[in-house]
Structure 1
């Protein structure tokens, strides 16, 4: 129960139930009931939509700049049906945490929904009295990140569609056309390709339930595995086998690192914390592994430029640009320009990849369909001859 007599409920992260009771009692609250809540194992996998976080940041920024109190603004936003139910529940929990005396950044950290970059930017905004500016910067930052990722995904949609189309054709031939031909002619074809398709057809028909269960289990298992740290690294290694894909992924990593570092430094986050957070946001294991060494060097008084050149995980041009930013006192602005350069470079490489893949996929699928059609024709012709005899 709150100091003003209202019954409220919420969650708080602490080492024990007694710690929660003491903390709330010291702030004037009366604890009526308390129980430990287990964290959901699939929390990070089924996370809040990025669109909700971006919209929330922008709307909260507008409200705060208009003079609305944070708590009142959150109450208004928590009732907006445009947000998902889960995100509205998160906002309600944040309101309760604010009533217990936590800062907005601390309340957000308790919810395990907002990443460390978001929380650090909010914390810096609160300390500097520019929370509305920090939230606007957050919205722009995540919008830019999402836009580039969406463009990369969109560019790869057509090749994936063509591949799925080819699989559907094989499925239709195997499960609908071939069985009817066999029943019509009453004999099995001798063509090895068609024979293989028939055997696959029979196996799947006889064991479809087991195949379905195995397929779903493998799909879910791979999905969960690729969300783990080891899985992310395995996926990265597999993707990096193709040179142009490796180049695109590296460009994305550099773009994310420089953009994140620039935004964090501009918001007043300490450079050592900013390096660690930016390295994590890059989603590149080489950059992440090099972050502790960079941080140690900067703590010892080495310039960021020299630290980048020493670890050698970023292009030299990036280190040189960083050096220029350090000398002129405009490091955040320089980092933003570097990120924009790599943003454009990634786009161009993706367009190049798609222009290469599209005709190859069309040629492969066309050739495959032509091969199947010719094989089917020969099979029908052979079966007709055998019947004629």
Structure 2
């Protein structure tokens, strides 16, 4: 079924655009007009041509899931609930366009999970929770589980970011101080004597200052491109491998990342299995959500062992990746038939451990940053004093 790119006006007079799938152009126009939009332009395309670099922001996904859950549980039709959400200013214009496309896909006859998958911006966890809810006739409960899951993820994410706010400020402040001393104070001090040292650290800094002064535009453009490239790269799946390698250089960070991966794996696996998703499929999805390359690598082997008839506990034990607490608790959950509850409890335990670990890491990082800044300033002061002393001796002769 072909795609059609459209431009239209909303009842409020706002210009919007998007892509709709239909059998022909007339059906595409009819689908758009059903939403009381004024069609300005419809153009057939062979496929969705937009390149999706970023998914849905976690903050918007949390609000979307909770409000959609509330309305669907209250008996509002799914399509009507999405129509209401598409007009809320709490969402960004991009996300409102995505919701509009979901409504058009539902009117075209797609299921909600198919419409979500068609947009290519929602993660597989949410899509599979919705799919399981549709198959079991319990979409409202699946949406509630999704809302609880994303709210819990956002809460932990916000706590970690809040705890790291002060060390981050100290780090940027330190970089600012170093930049000020190196490229503003030092050149002024040296220029007083009318002579530039011919060797040592000071000469290197003066040459760097002269280069930046002469090529500031190209340096600025390079810095902007590097920062932009770093942000884009951090959203890709390859960034997790780089982060894991960097974490090995600092054991406290590696330990914290491992706990975060285990917490994410257990919470996602518990949510998916409790919603009726097939266990073998849920294992691979939970591993992917953990962002741990080690878990992703062993997830297929664990899934295959479960498919062969082994217990989940035995498969996790053989993988050699999961902590003993996790697979022992999983074994208890399998024996009692309460695997979902046990996994949630394990996730909550590791969530508490992450909070404690972040506090310890912050308490360790802060003095290291302060000591680093102080050490650099002391080094620069000693270097400048030695240089000025040498220049004074030269002038005295």
Per the TM superposition, whether the score is higher than 0.5 is yes
Whether 1:63 aligns to 2:107 is no
Aligned counterpart for 1:335 among listed residues 322, 340, 343: 343
Q: Is the 8 A contact 1:48 1:86 kept in 2?
A: no
* SS class of match (1:34): strand
Q: Who is 1:3 aligned against?
A: none
Whether 1:39 aligns to 2:41 is no
Q: Who is 1:309 aligned against?
A: 317
Question: Per-residue deviation at 1:38?
Answer: 4.1
Q: State the TM-score, normalizing by the size of structure 1.
A: 0.88
Structure-2 separation of matches of 1:271 and 1:198: 63
Structure-2 separation of matches of 1:63 and 1:246: 42
Question: Per-residue deviation at 1:229?
Answer: 3.3
Q: Who is 1:97 aligned against?
A: 105
Q: Please, which moves more after superposition, 250-259 or 215-224?
A: 215-224
Structure-2 separation of matches of 1:329 and 1:201: 68
Question: Per-residue deviation at 1:226?
Answer: 4.0
Structure 1 gap segments, 5+ residues each: 1-6, 14-19
Structure-2 separation of matches of 1:358 and 1:364: 10
**CA deviation map 1:303-334 (0-9, x unaligned):** 11111111121012211110100110110000
Structure-2 separation of matches of 1:44 and 1:187: 52
Q: Please, which moves more after superposition, 29-38 or 50-59?
A: 29-38
Seen in structure 2, the aligned counterparts of structure 1 residues 185 and 253 have a Cα distance that, compared at 3 Å, is same
Q: Which has the higher contact order (CA 8 A, sep 6+)?
A: 1
* SS class of match (2:44): coil
What is the number of residues matched between the two proteins?
A: 375
Q: State the TM-score, normalizing by the size of structure 2.
A: 0.86
Question: Per-residue deviation at 1:136?
Answer: 1.9
**CA deviation map 1:160-203 (0-9, x unaligned):** 32222222122212322223223332222467232221111112
RMSD of aligned alpha carbons: 2.8
Structure-1 separation of matches of 2:70 and 2:161: 31
Structure-2 separation of matches of 1:164 and 1:65: 47
**CA deviation map 1:10-60 (0-9, x unaligned):** 6457xxxxxx528997xx97998632344333x233x33211111111111
Q: Please, which moves more after superposition, 170-179 or 60-69?
A: 170-179
Q: Is the 8 A contact 2:31 2:104 kept in 1?
A: no
Q: Is the 8 A contact 2:133 2:275 kept in 1?
A: yes
**CA deviation map 1:97-133 (0-9, x unaligned):** 1111111111111111211110111122223332222
Q: Who is 1:16 aligned against?
A: none
Residues 1-389 of structure 1: pairs in structure 2 closer than 5 A? 11=19, 20-21=22-23, 34-41=44-51, 43-45=52-54, 47-189=55-197, 192-389=200-397
Structure 2 gap segments, 5+ residues each: 1-8, 11-16, 34-41
Structure-1 separation of matches of 2:32 and 2:271: 41
- Greater share of residues in strand: 2
* SS class of match (1:81): coil
